[in-house]
Chains A and B, each alone.
Chain A
Amino acid sequence: MSPTSAPSKDQDGGAALPSQNRRGRAAGRRPFVRFLVRRIVTALLLALGITLVTFILTNLVPGDPAAANLGQRAIGDPAIVAQWRADHGLDKPLPQQYLIHLSGVLHGDFGQSQQSHRPVADDLAEFVPATLELAGAAILISLVLGVAFGVVAALRRDRLSDHILRVTSLFGISVPTFWLALVAFYVFFYRLQITPGSGRIDPGMTAPPHVTGLYTIDAALSGQWDVFASAAAHLITPALVLALYTIGLLTRFTRSAVLEVLGQDYVRAARAKGLPARVILFRYVLRSALVPVITVAGLAFGSLLSGTVLVEAIFAWPGIGQYAYKSATSLDLPAVMGVGLVVGVVYLVINLIVDVLYGVIDPRVRIS
């Protein structure tokens, strides 16, 4: 794992950071590439590991997929059960099933879902964008609000606004997401009637032409502004609910990181030099303070994805959360494995991005 609080080690004073920055960039062009390649190779190996783990875990689950998917009557007919098993490749030995699964995955074929009877890849292509839109909006909101609140709280330390933000962030961290989702739905949709109901767009509307699968972007691209408004309106409450936890988390981390950096000598020196407050904040303070914040944001994205299962259920959001839940309860193994792989890969990608961002923000990381 990469260092999380780089600024605290930085004892050389104000001038150290820019000079070290230059030195690091000159010496580290090749190492950075090597670092990136190493990370990507590790990620690929991990992805392979994920396929094995998801495969083994899903097949270890007690319960018979045939029993879960066939009706009361059909299960009594051996011919139907045999037909069903053969259709879904369950009549072959496990290692062979894994190899078939793996070679399929490499060709972009995740097998056929037992519940939707469509290729899992098609299902994922349909549900992943919905979740990405929701989780993406949530992480965007959390980064903007979380960092902003954290900075404000740090700059106005021990004043009223600081106290309010700290209490609010504590609330955000401690409130269970599903409860908040229900309450938000009740208050904003039912009581105040300012937000629309379940789903991604109004039931009377047709989805915008498929480009990215994100309704807001697709609608904007095709210039259907009424669909865009409906999609954005449907997105805002679930995204805020989902974001609240991360906002709270980021506020607290940013606040403490900013406070720590504010006390550093180089910041004092910069202030003494008479640099404008904005330059000090964005160039000197935020850059150092963001390192731990990015670590937390990366991890938080993971919890966001698991939070979507509940939020999607309450807002009837057709994403992978609902798909995963439904697949798990009907023992739809190919679908469960597909979801497991996608979530695993999303984690890997986020971690990769976080690692690379370290390199961008903190040059010392590239060398290690």
Chain B
Amino acid sequence: MALRSRRRQATTALLPVLLTGALALAACSSGGSSGTTAQSGASKTLVIDTSFDLKTADPGRTYEPTGLIVGKATYDTLLTFEGADVTKPVPALAESYELSSDGTTLTLKLRQGATFADGSPVTADDVLFSLTRVRDMKGTPSFLLDGVDVAKTDDSTITLTSKTPNPALPYILPNPALGILNSKVAKEHGATADPNDKAEQYLNSASAGSGPYTIESFNVSSQVVLKANAKYWGAKKPTYDKVVIRNVESATQKLNVQRGDSQVALNLSGDQVTGMTGGLQVKRTTSAYVFFLLANQDTGVSKVTSNPKFVEALRKGIDYAGLLELAGEGSTQAAGIIPSMFLGALPADQATTRDVEGAKAALAESGVTDPTVKLEYPSELTVNGLSFQPLAERIQANLKEVGITVEITPAPVTTALDNYRNGKEELGLWYWGPDFPDPSNYLSFLPGKLVGLRAGWKAGSDKELESAGDKAAAAVTDDARKQAYTDVQTKLNASGPFIPLIQPGQNIVTAGSVTGLEYHPVWTINVADLGAK
């Protein structure tokens, strides 16, 4: 009796278990089939997985990698770049441009017939309003047009004037932050060309551009859905009806793309893409991010790192080839501070090589004995799957051989940034991503400039280098600029407080069916370039 009743109790208790199990199975099987039908339906959907760095879809405030992908797809700019080539700006909403011989005036002829997604034409007034708005709104990308005067000469001509020569302007204009808004729509929703602008909330819910896609839904931490602009004015119509950009962590990205749940995975590290099979395409390119070491020149911060011979010991003591091994396939050594694909980059053969004996000699000459220095870096930040930790540890080991003790002090990025930006780090390991693909962006590394000051390098510290910098800033023709920037970097490598280390690789994995993918240093990928086999 007792036995039997117990068994019955057990069966009763198991009932809910069985029910839950059945429900789970039902859900699983139905999910499996619905997952595949979504892909093979009549409308073409492209799913892109990336780790979000996204704050807004308002082009005038966009400055983050994911935001630039969205901006590039939804807004057209006056000029753009073809594929991955960033050495030559090509027409977009402007059909031609001309830079005056003194480099201060850029005249752009607008294309006729370009229309916004609502069908209204793109006019010179839209251009004037959009550019002035970015500049005067004091948002993150405002500096792109600092000191640039925007004027409408006639209905099809826009003139941009700067006080000093600004040959970088044609390279800045393709930045998606300078996308042209439908000014009528934007103004209706609170857009003004001053800090009181209120249009962002609207622009986060719907796009007001002339690009090949429009925003269907936008969420900064989960996903962005784009839909094809049926009235796109350009010759090349968007291939996909719908593009879903999802926030997915990189381990999951890999499984998603392998299983076919997504078609593009943007943030896989070199290790993750090795041995990828199943008809997937792996695009390995060198990214435009430059990792560098900074040695503070402010004697108040460090008596050791401000010693030029000590910096020489650092430069010669680091094993660059070893760092490249850590960074994995696709990465290259940074010869200078300007990335390899930009105009004015130093040729690879001018890169520093390791010389332990030379480093020891320099250290002896410096007069510093048994130095101990602190190396600060952001602990949780990864750049294309590469984290700072192993690089810092390798540098620590390299310098130990030379006789320099390095204390590595990681901190969360928000904390580490404080010390870095205030110029308080003794040694710092950081990276620089280009604001625009022009060498003038890297003049920030000179004494008294943005990054120079972060290394405690005050204006007037290196007269010769500073005058070389001024010369580079004033050069207008491509040849003169190339020469001037090479010169700046050679001098910077010889006596500056920055030691360029590596450019990590950028690995993008796509499904076999996706065509036309190119890695772009500014907007990572142009969704509109993606086609289907």
Taking Cβ atoms with an 8 Å cutoff, the residues of A that contact B are: 62-64, 67-77, 79-80, 83-84, 115-118, 126-127, 141, 144-145, 148-149, 151-152, 155-156, 161, 182, 185-186, 188-190, 193-199, 202-205, 226, 229-230, 232-236, 240, 271, 276-278, 281, 313-316, 318, 322-323, 326, 329-331
Contacts and interface: CB of A to CB of B under 8 A. Distances in A.
Contacts of B14: 148, 152
Interface string B168-202: 00000000000000000000000000010000110
Interface stretch (B24-32, B85-93, B325-333, B364-372): B24-32
Contact of A330 (B8, B140, B223, B414): B414
Contacts of B249: 313-314, 316
Contacts of B52: 326
B370 to A, nearest CB: 31
Contact of B9 (A80, A278, A323): A278
B55 A144 contact: no
Contacts of B435: 71-73
A204 B38 contact: yes
B38 A63 contact: no
A190 B251 CA distance: 12
Interface stretch (B239-247, B279-287, B402-410): B239-247
B16 A74 contact: no
A338 to B, nearest CB: 13
A203 B244 contact: yes
Contact of A316 (B31, B246, B432): B246
A112 B178 CA distance: 25
A229 B418 contact: no
The binding surface of chain B is classed by DSSP as: helix
A26 B471 CA distance: 94
Contacts of A235: 27
B274 interface: no
Contacts of A156: 6, 10
Given A79-B138, A185-B255, A229-B27, A202 B16 contact: no
Contacts of A74: 63, 139-143
B418 A236 contact: no
B219 interface: yes
Contacts of A155: 6, 9-10, 13
Contacts of B450: 72-73, 76
Interface in B407-448: 412-415, 417-418, 421, 432, 435
Contacts of A141: 20
B400 interface: no
B515 interface: no
Contact of B17 (A64, A67, A144): A144
A63 B412 contact: yes
Given A197-B259, A199-B222, A322-B221, 14 more contacts: A62-B415, A72-B450, A144-B20, A145-B20, A156-B6, A186-B255, A188-B28, A198-B49, A198-B246, A198-B252, A203-B261, A232-B27, A322-B247, A329-B414
Contacts of B29: 194
Nearest to A161: B10
A188 to B, nearest CB: 8
Given A144-B16, A148-B16, A194-B29, A182 B251 contact: yes
Contact of A62 (B24, B141, B219, B418): B418
Given A118-B204, A190-B255, A233-B31, A204 B16 contact: no
Contacts, number: 222
A68 B55 contact: no
Interface in B1-49: 2, 5-6, 8-10, 12-14, 16-17, 20, 24, 27-32, 34-35, 38-39, 41, 43, 45, 47, 49
B506 to A, nearest CB: 19
A67 B430 CA distance: 15
A79 B8 CA distance: 76
Nearest to A67: B417
A77 B28 contact: no
A316 B56 contact: no
A52 B237 CA distance: 54
A76 B421 CA distance: 9
B56 A63 contact: no
A76 to B, nearest CB: 5
B258 interface: yes
Considering residues B35, B141, B223, B244, which has the most beta carbons from chain A within 10 angstroms of its beta carbon? B35
A197 B143 contact: no
A155 B4 CA distance: 12
B344 to A, nearest CB: 20
A196 B140 contact: no
B138 A83 contact: yes
A314 B252 contact: yes
A271 B2 CA distance: 9
B47 A203 contact: yes
A281 to B, nearest CB: 5
Contact of A149 (B17, B28, B143, B201): B17
Contacts of A75: 421
Nearest to B420: A67
Given A76-B450, A149-B17, A196 B418 contact: no
A190 B258 contact: yes
A271 B12 CA distance: 18
A187 to B, nearest CB: 10
B262 interface: yes
Contacts of A205: 38
Contacts of B43: 204
Nearest to B21: A145
A329 B31 contact: no
A198 B248 CA distance: 8
A204 to B, nearest CB: 3
Contact of A152 (B13, B35, B138, B262): B13
A277 B5 contact: yes
Contacts of A83: 138, 195
Given A118-B201, A329-B414, A318 B221 contact: yes
A288 to B, nearest CB: 16
A115 B49 CA distance: 20
Contacts of B490: none
A329 B416 CA distance: 12
A-B complex: 9 closest residue pairs judged by Cβ atoms: A233-B31, A318-B222, A204-B38, A197-B261, A277-B5, A63-B414, A229-B30, A232-B27, A203-B244
B141 A71 contact: yes
Contacts of B149: none
Contacts of A202: 34-35, 38
B376 to A, nearest CB: 13
Contact of A73 (B28, B55, B143, B262): B143
Given A74-B140, A79-B138, A318 B34 contact: no
B220 interface: yes
Nearest to A80: B138
Contact of A233 (B12, B30, B143): B30
23 contacts: A63-B412, A67-B418, A71-B140, A71-B141, A73-B143, A73-B435, A74-B143, A80-B142, A115-B221, A116-B220, A118-B204, A152-B10, A185-B252, A190-B258, A197-B35, A202-B34, A203-B223, A230-B30, A230-B31, A278-B8, A314-B252, A315-B252, A329-B380
Nearest to B62: A71
Interface string B324-364: 00000000000000000000000000000000000000000
B34 A329 contact: no
A141 B256 CA distance: 26
Contacts of A199: 222-223, 246
B221 A127 contact: yes
A241 B261 CA distance: 21
A203 B246 contact: yes
Nearest to A149: B17
A156 to B, nearest CB: 6
A271 B3 CA distance: 13
